[in-house]
Amino acid sequence: MRASLQVPFAEKDDAKGLGARWDPARKVWYVENQADLSPFARWLPANNPTPGVGAPSPKPPSSKDQSTAGITVVGSRFVEYARVCTCLPWEDCDKCRSATVVE
pLDDT digits (tens, 9 = 90+) for 6-28: 999 999 999 999 999 999 999 99
pLDDT score at 55 = 43
30 contacts 18 by C-beta, under 8 angstroms: no
Q: What is the pLDDT of residues 45-96, one digit of tens each?
A: 875 544 444 444 455 555 555 555 566 556 666 666 666 777 777 777 777 7
Q: Which of 28, 20, 78 is nearest to 55 (CA)?
A: 28
End-to-end alpha carbon distance in the chain: 55
Bigger pLDDT: 37 or 85? 37
Domain extent listing, the chain = 2-43, 68-99
CA dihedral 28, 34, 37, 43 (to 10 degrees): -10
CA distance 69 to 89: 22
What does the pLDDT read at residue 52?
43
d(CA 79, CA 27) in angstroms, rounded, equals 23
Q: Quick one: pLDDT at residue 51? A: 44
